[in-house]
Structure 1
């Protein structure tokens, strides 16, 4: 999920953008905006940066293994073609 400090920063920026006259009427706006953002973002299907990085490493290792297997298969096929009578 997103960093709570980032959510607070976004909520504060929104609150700061409100004109001063309206700001007095909406004293709890920052907290309410933060709550709405957290509620809506929690409904989205996000993965953490840590999980993304882990899965990226898994994908890299899997790709390396696949390339090694493809190279091995090509070598075996080449050897098989060389042993087949013409």
Structure 2
């Protein structure tokens, strides 16, 4: 979950890339961005870095195991043929 501080930083970053010519409406746009982010981000299924890295590690292990099993199957098939 994104905390209020990070949400504020994200809104400021997005507002920061807007052209300076927007001038007075820039603050209003930043407030609107903040409101949109606050309402929409909770709907996303975001995960923290630790959870992401754990899932990534499991995926790497699963891929390695699949490669091992594929090699075993290929070896067994070769033995059966010959």
User: How high is the TM-score relative to the length of structure 1?
Assistant: 0.59
Query: CA distance change for structure 1 residues 33 and 74 in 2, over 3 Å: closer, same or farther?
Result: closer
Listed as ranges, the matches of 1:22-37 within 5 Å are 34=34, 36-37=36-37
| Residue number in structure 1 paired with 2:45 | 45
Structure 2 stretches of 5 or more lacking a match?
16-21
CA RMSD in angstroms comes to 3.2
The answer on 1:19 being equivalent to 2:19 is no
Query: CA distance change for structure 1 residues 63 and 10 in 2, over 3 Å: closer, same or farther?
Result: closer
**Stretch deviating more after TM superposition (5-14 or 36-45):** 5-14
User: How high is the TM-score relative to the length of structure 2?
Assistant: 0.61
| Residue number in structure 1 paired with 2:18 | none
**Stretch deviating more after TM superposition (41-50 or 60-69):** 41-50
Name which one, 1 or 2, has greater alpha-carbon Rg: 1
Alpha-carbon distance between aligned partners in 1 of 2:66 and 2:44, rounded to the nearest angstrom? 33
User: Which runs of at least 4 in structure 1 moved beyond 6 Å after TM superposition?
Assistant: none
Structure 1 stretches of 5 or more lacking a match?
none
Aligned length: 75
